[in-house]
Amino acid sequence: MSVFTVPTKEEVSEKNQAIFDQLKGAIGMVPNLYAYFAKNENALSDYMALQNRKSTLKAKEREIINLVVSQVNDCQYCLAAHTGLGKMNGFTDEQILEIRNGKADFDAKFDALAKFVKEVAITRGHPADHFTDALLEAGYTEAGVIDIMIVIGDKTISNYLYGFANFAIDFPKPAAL
């Protein structure tokens, strides 16, 4: 198996060094995923722009998507990171495990979202009609569905990059399902 390394600040471009400084100032560290993106001159800034774009979705909804997609794609790095972010956004350990399983019985709207996202991730963008109907009946709009798909795509990018590079996980290990 190939081993890929995460670059240090000194090993990336000046543009990416500035982003490292911003990350360190904002969150106290440069996560290995972001550092790995910095091996490419534009990928880190492009990925951060995608993650930070304006959206109809609330932070909890984005974390539901991140957790479900990362579970479907078996991305241990993103599961670790988003378990912590899920807790920061108010989810309990039990709720996070439930979300990772593609449901949220504790909230009807979140449940429709988790089920829809799991179906989209498993079917690679071809959800059965009843998942879409339930999502729309729960109050999501077509504009919201577009935002959901963008977050699914965002998380798929990071899941696949980690699956390829398999760098060290720098967040606490999430509980097993």
Whole-number Cα distances in Å, 17 to 35, 40, 46, 129, 152: 10, 12, 15, 46, 28
107 and 71 fall within a common domain: yes
∠4-10-15 over CA atoms, to 5°?
Answer: 100
For residue range 104-137, what is the model confidence (pLDDT) as tens digits? 999 999 999 999 999 999 999 999 999 999 999 9
pTM listed for this prediction:
0.96
| Residue 1's pLDDT band (cuts 50, 70, 90) | low
For residue range 21-37, what is the model confidence (pLDDT) as tens digits? 999 999 999 999 999 99
103 and 158 fall within a common domain: yes
Q: Residue 59's pLDDT is what?
A: 98
- The residue segments making up the domain with residue 112 are 59-165
What letter represents residue 9's amino acid? K
177 located within any domain:
no
175 located within any domain:
no
Place of tokens 């378990």: 83
Place of tokens 């959901």: 148
Output DSSP code: residue 57: S
141 and 106 fall within a common domain: yes
For residue range 5-15, what is the model confidence (pLDDT) as tens digits? 999 999 999 99
Written as six digits, the tokens of 88 are 């920061």
79 and 20 fall within a common domain: no
Alpha helices in 73-128 (DSSP H): 76-88, 93-100, 108-123
